């Protein structure tokens, strides 16, 4: 999925204007509103390079999990005080439960199918303490996705120049993003291509998956960054 871009992930999204600090503060407010458990254990699922995890550690005892070992290597270097695990969000087993679980930046879309969406949310529910809360930030729905859309992002630093162009397409309920990179460093210029495929889940798909896992679910249409937020609560 990721290739040359992993080591530049943070620079790319900083250039895009992603505000991890603002999003983490909003997540904290949602947690404070809905969480009914008494502890401070938080698991960040699909944590990437730890952008949210590091900021949320101001309030919680945070652990992270991600499928990509290179992303985790970056996260561990950035946040040496946080424990990070490698695992798939659909079937991980950490042998413990948490007061709060978050899955942010639309990472849930990578499960691709409705059956895997249900499996992922059920796996997260099993890791949630009674009274705990699960926050999931969704990917786009079918109605929101625009096939043919192109976008360009640039990073312009003294020793690092990146141009990333993306093209959106669709196959049924699967969205596809082709990223092409030109990466310039003092060593030269590299070209690389990545294809990201993510499921286009509806509001009903998400609500049904939460309910199938036994969670009471609320949807906030704005959420942390305008993409909405699903808040699942586990009964005490």
DSSP letters, 93-151, are --SS-EEEEEE-TTGGGGG-SHHHHHHHHHHHHHTEEEEEEEEE-----TTT--TT-EE
- Domain residue ranges in the chain: 16-141+201-233
Does domain 16-141+201-233 sit in CATH 3.90.420.10? no
- Put simply, whether the predicted model's pTM sits higher than 0.75 gets the answer yes
Reported as a single tens digit per residue, the pLDDT across 3-12 is: 668 899 999 9
Helix (H, G, I), strand (E, B) or coil at 37: coil
**Rounded percentage of the chain residues whose pLDDT exceeds 70:** 98
* CB distance 192 to 5 below 8 Å: yes
Reported as a single tens digit per residue, the pLDDT across 123-172 is: 999 999 999 999 999 999 999 999 999 999 999 999 999 999 999 999 99
Reported as a single tens digit per residue, the pLDDT across 41-92 is: 999 999 999 999 999 999 999 999 999 999 999 999 999 999 999 999 999 9
């Amino acid at each position: 999925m990721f290739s040359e871009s992993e080591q530049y992930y943070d620079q790319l999204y900083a250039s895009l204007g992603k505000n991890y600090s603002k999003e983490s503060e909003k997540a904290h407010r949602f947690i404070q509103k809905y969480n009914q458990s008494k502890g401070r254990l938080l698991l960040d699922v699909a944590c990437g390079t730890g952008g949210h995890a590091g900021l949320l550690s101001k309030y919680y005892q945070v652990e992270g999990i991600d499928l990509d070992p290179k992303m985790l290597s970056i996260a561990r270097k950035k946040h040496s005080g946080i424990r990070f695990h490698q695992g798939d969000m659909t079937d991980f087993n950490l042998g413990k439960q948490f007061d709060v679980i978050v899955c942010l930046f639309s990472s849930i879309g990578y499960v691709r199918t409705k059956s895997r969406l249900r499996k992922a949310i059920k796996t997260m529910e099993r890791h949630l303490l009674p009274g705990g809360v699960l926050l999931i930030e969704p990917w786009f729905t079918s109605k929101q996705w625009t096939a043919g859309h192109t976008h360009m992002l640039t990073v312009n630093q003294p020793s690092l120049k990146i141009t990333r162009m993306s093209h959106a397409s669709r196959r049924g309920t699967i969205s596809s993003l082709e990223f092409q990179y030109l990466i310039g460093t003092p060593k030269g210029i590299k070209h690389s291509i990545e294809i990201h495929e993510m499921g286009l889940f509806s509001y009903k798909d998400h609500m049904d998956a939460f309910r199938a896992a036994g969670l009471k679910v609320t949807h906030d249409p704005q959420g942390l960054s305008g993409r909405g937020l699903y808040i699942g609560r586990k009964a005490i």
